[in-house]
Each structure stands twice: as structure tokens, then as C-alpha cells.
Structure 1
């Protein structure tokens, strides 16, 4: 196995798009998806065949969870649907390249903003 950890917390490894609110949801999703495609193409060129994809960077999710709200990493707002399933997109694109994906859950990280969200004050 030649693997890599792909951290999404604070947008460390994906996606580096700082102005989430200045674009339409559709164009934002396209930019994010293209960033993932570019990232996976680069990893494939490096010979990486396994990605540990951080799907729960904090108290939020990068998949349509029945328990956790959507991550603000995708839209800038906790609980806002990004218009696509980032985990499914990652799985589909990685598999096209013959890569395996392991979902990486961070059970501990939790920021103050999440506390306010869960208490209903945000």
C-alpha cells in the first residue's frame, strides 16, 4: 500500500477555496470537485493507491449524515447542503484511478462554533 492522509479540517489538503460565499452553489461545487480531481490525478502520478479521506473533521460531516450536520468546510455554513455528496464523489473519482479509499473519522476534534450550533445559538 502507498497511502496518504487527506485532511479536510481547516481545508488543509482539500479544498483551498477561501471565498465560499462569493460564488453560486453550483460553481462552488464544480470548483471543489475539480480540486478533488486535480488532487487525485496528482496523487496517482506519485504512485499513491490508497487515500485516508477525512470525512468527519470535527463535529460535522462530509456525507449526508442522519446524525451530524453538513460541514461548513464545503459552504461556509454549518448544516448547509453543498449540493453533492463529497464522500461519494471522492469514492467515484478515486475508484476511476484504481485507488482505495478509507473514511477517516476524527472522534475528538470539536470547535466552539460547533458547540454553539448544537446548542441552537447559531
Structure 2
């Protein structure tokens, strides 16, 4: 077992959260916007499930997976939206188009990815 020196001068064991290399790579990244939204949604809608996710060691993994899925899906939906709705040239129309594009894509991501309980 390896140990690391903490800022308080204590030697702490370096215990791995998981043995899965894919999950270890995910844990190196911070939880992003979509993952935090999922965690808040689960706390609000399924408060009893939070402890289960924590005990199973998935409370920190699932939000990072959701972030990855959501970013990929955002790119796909953005491409589709741009094909179906060409960008206007007038400044005021561009502002409206950009707001509509982002709101439409984010709404779809929330429905498809974030508001889904992962068991």
C-alpha cells in the first residue's frame, strides 16, 4: 500500500476508489454541469437512492458518465439543429437563433440524459 503526505503532516493511505481503469480515468475529471444537475435531480426526486449510489460507489462515477454522454449528444444535436435551421444573417435574428438553438438542445439533453435514473 502506498501513502501520501497530507498538508497537515499525516500519512494517508492511497486507496483506489475503483479497480476499473475506465472509471479511474473518469474520476480524474471533475463533475461538470450536466453531472451536477443529475445529482441535484436525484437528491430532489429520489432522495433515498442517494445513499444507495454512495454505498455502491457510483455517486461519483455516474455524473461523469452523464457529462461525457451529454457533451457528445450536444454536439450531435447542434449539428442537426444547424442543418435544419440555417443561421440567419441579421444581428437581431442571430441573437434569437442562438438562444433558441441552445435552449432547444439543452432541453433535449435534460430529457434524454439528465432526467433518467441510472440503476
Would you say same fold, with TM above 0.5?
no
After TM superposition, the score normalised by the length of structure 2 is: 0.29
- Larger relative contact order (C-alpha < 8 A, sep ≥ 6)? 1
After TM superposition, the score normalised by the length of structure 1 is: 0.29
Q: Which has the larger radius of gyration?
A: 2
Bigger helix share: 2
